[in-house]
Structure 1
Amino acid sequence: MSTVQTKVDEARQLLDEHTLKMVHWHFSEDTGSPFWLGKKSELKFDPLTEVKSFDDLKKFPLFEDDWLRGGPIRRWVPKGLAGKPVYVFETGGTTGVPKSRAVVEDHWKDYELFSHTLPDEYFPKGSNWLMLGPSGPRRLRLAVEHLAQYRDGICFCIDLDPRWVVKMLKKGWMDQVEEYKKHCIDQAVTILTANHDVKCMFTTPKLLEALGEALEEQGSSIAEAGITGIFSGGTEFTPQWTRYAVEELLGGPPEEGGVYMTPTYGNTLMGLACSKPVTAAEGYKISYYAPQPRAVTEVVEMEDHTQVVGYGETGRVKLYTLTDEFFVPGFLERDEGEREEPFDTYPWDGVSGVRPYHKLASGTTVGVY
């Protein structure tokens, strides 16, 4: 048996054990949240006796993200975490009530795990960070700041309200959108040129491109501004864009241009999925792997979410979150992609080619970031 297969089997056993532990935590009277304890009576089975492995989570109905719209927010806080300070992070909400997730420490844990995947050569410990992304009630802002602090750095943040951008886009105010993007980039350039020793950053593809152009206008570049490590995310990540970024914005691969960029895929429900290192040799293909056993992604058939597609085949992304703070026993993402094989570093399934789900794509508004 190959060493990868051995790791796959071990990871699966760990996932089964972790699933059992989390189901017992969320459905036991003394530790569960009011939401899941209330849902228990609606289920056609008893999770405490009938869930014995990860596959048994398919007995649950799909998680509905509309459950997260409106309160009371405390119904999501497990009794087992009573007395701990609680954060609330929002997602969506361009129209109507945003989805809210109660969080205690998950955003710290997710980003500490992610920190261990970053190469110290390009993300030096002790260097400062720039957070060039959405601010306000979003998890990302505090999570990136924690990542910087966890790596002994200080995080500089800009002010960016994506909801305002989406409103402007819907009104067709393209000039204002461009002005707002410029306003955000101006803040970033100010920080980078103020002698703050910023070497690492989080940003999105659109904003990285705009930053590169703004620095070029000043006769500088991302590398010359001192940046050596970029962690980035967003559905705009495509092999074509990544090739452009590496060749045009970053001066070539890390060993040539001195700047390392790693794509990530994440959201407020799941956390953060890392990518397999992206190389020219693989055509800049981007494959994401969830942080098992805390979260799992599957690529499932479009018409039957209980069936996983074959390797290399296209399907919809299905998400599971299994932490002591939050339990999602299966949620259909607004994304589709191809199922990827496990490999040595991440011995479980991944997903590549992530893009908006084709039946929803036309209604998806992608804003300034």
Structure 2
Amino acid sequence: MSSVQTKADKAREVLNEQTLKMVHWHFSDKTGSPFWLEKKAELKFDPLTEVKSFEDLKKFPLFEDDWLRGGPVRRWVPQGLAGKPVYVFETGGTTGVPKSRAVVEDHWTDYELFSHTLPEKYFPKGANWLMLGPSGPRRLRLAVEHLAQYRGGICFCIDLDPRWVVKLIKKGWMEHLEAYKQHCVDQAVTVLTANHDVKCMFATPKLLESLGEALEEKGTSLPEMGITGIFSGGTEFTPQWTRYAVEELLGGPPEEGGVYMTPTYGNTLMGLACSKPVTAEDNYKISYYAPQPRAVTEVVDMDDHTQVVGYGETGRVKLYTLTDEFFVPGFLERDEGEREAPYDTYPWDGVSGVRPYHKLASGTTVGVY
């Protein structure tokens, strides 16, 4: 048996243990949240006796993100965490009531785990960070700041309201959109040119590209400004874009240009999935692996979400979240992709080629992401 298979079997055992532990936490009267304790009465089975492994989560109906629209938000806070300070993070919200998630420390934990995957040569401990992404009630902004602090640095943030961006797009106000994007990029340029010794940053692909162009107009570049590590995320992260970014914006691969860029795939429900290192030899293919056992992604049949597709085959992304703060026993993402095999660093299934789900794609407004 290969070492990857041995690791994969062990990872599955750990996932089964986590599933059992989290189901008992969320459905026990002492520790569960009001939402799940109420939902338990509607289920056609008893989670406390009938869930024995991760596979048994398929007994639950799909999680509906509309459950997260509107309050009271405290119904999501497990009684086992009573008395702890609670954050509320919003997602979407371009029309109607946004989805909101109550969080205690999950965003810290997720980004501390992610921190351990970053190569120190390019993300040096103690380095300051720039957060070139959404602000306001977004998890990402506080999470990146925590990541910087956890690694011993200070985070510089900008003001960016993604809801305003989406409104501009929907109204067709492209001149205003361009001006707002420039406003955001100008803030980043100001930070980078103010002698703050920023070496690492988060940016969405579109904003990273605009920042690179703005610096080029000033006769400089990201490497010349001292940036060595970039973490980025968003559905715009394609192999084509990655090739452009590496070759045009970053001066070549890390060993040549001195800048290491890592793509991530995440959201307010799941947390953060890391990517296998992206290389020119592999045609800049991007494969994401969820932070098991805290979250799991599956690539499932388009017509039957209980069936996982074969390796290399295309399906819809299905998400599970299994932390003591939040329980999602299966949610169909607005994304599709190809199922990837486990490998040494992440010995469980991954997903590559992530893109908007084809049946929803035409109705999705991406905005700055």
Structure-1-length-normalised TM-score:
1.00
Deviations 1:276-297 (A, max 9, x none): 0000000000000000000000
Unaligned runs of 5+ in 1: none
Q: Which residue of 1 aligns with 2:310?
A: 310
1:232 positional shift: 0.2
Q: How does 1:277-356 map to 2 (within 5 A)?
A: 277-356=277-356
| Inter-partner Cα distance in structure 2 for 1:146 and 1:122 | 18
- SS across alignment from 1:354: strand
Question: Contact between 2:204 and 2:368, CA under 8 Å: does it hold in 1?
Answer: no
Q: How does 1:157-306 map to 2 (within 5 A)?
A: 157-306=157-306
| Inter-partner Cα distance in structure 2 for 1:368 and 1:297 | 24
| Inter-partner Cα distance in structure 2 for 1:280 and 1:185 | 28
| Inter-partner Cα distance in structure 1 for 2:190 and 2:2 | 52
1:118 positional shift: 0.1
| Inter-partner Cα distance in structure 2 for 1:163 and 1:23 | 35
| Inter-partner Cα distance in structure 2 for 1:224 and 1:177 | 28
- SS across alignment from 2:160: coil
1:94 positional shift: 0.1
1:119 positional shift: 0.2
- SS across alignment from 1:62: coil
The AA in structure 1 aligned to 2:213 is E
Q: Which residue of 1 aligns with 2:25?
A: 25
Question: Contact between 1:177 and 1:368, CA under 8 Å: does it hold in 2?
Answer: no
**CA RMSD, 1 decimal:** 0.3
The AA in structure 1 aligned to 2:33 is S
Q: Which residue of 1 aligns with 2:64?
A: 64
Q: Which residue of 2 aligns with 1:121?
A: 121
- SS across alignment from 2:202: strand
Q: Which residue of 2 aligns with 1:155?
A: 155
Deviations 1:10-33 (A, max 9, x none): 000000011000000000000000
| Inter-partner Cα distance in structure 2 for 1:57 and 1:173 | 45
1:106 and 2:106 matched: yes
- SS across alignment from 2:263: strand
Deviations 1:96-151 (A, max 9, x none): 00000000000000000000000000000001000000000000000000000000
1:37 and 2:5 matched: no
The AA in structure 2 aligned to 1:62 is L
| Inter-partner Cα distance in structure 1 for 2:218 and 2:304 | 53
Unaligned runs of 5+ in 2: none
1:366 positional shift: 1.0
Q: Which residue of 2 aligns with 1:85?
A: 85
Percent identity, aligned pairs only? Answer: 89
1:54 positional shift: 0.1
- SS across alignment from 2:304: coil
| Inter-partner Cα distance in structure 2 for 1:366 and 1:80 | 37
- SS across alignment from 2:156: strand
- SS across alignment from 1:224: coil
1:163 positional shift: 0.1
- SS across alignment from 1:12: helix
1:368 positional shift: 2.4
Deviations 1:176-217 (A, max 9, x none): 000000000000000000000000000011000000000000
- SS across alignment from 2:368: coil
- SS across alignment from 2:281: helix
Residues paired across the two proteins, number: 369
Structure-2-length-normalised TM-score:
1.00
| Inter-partner Cα distance in structure 2 for 1:27 and 1:332 | 22
| Inter-partner Cα distance in structure 2 for 1:159 and 1:352 | 31
- Superposition misfits of 4+ residues, deviation over 6 angstroms: none
The AA in structure 2 aligned to 1:81 is L
| Inter-partner Cα distance in structure 1 for 2:300 and 2:2 | 26
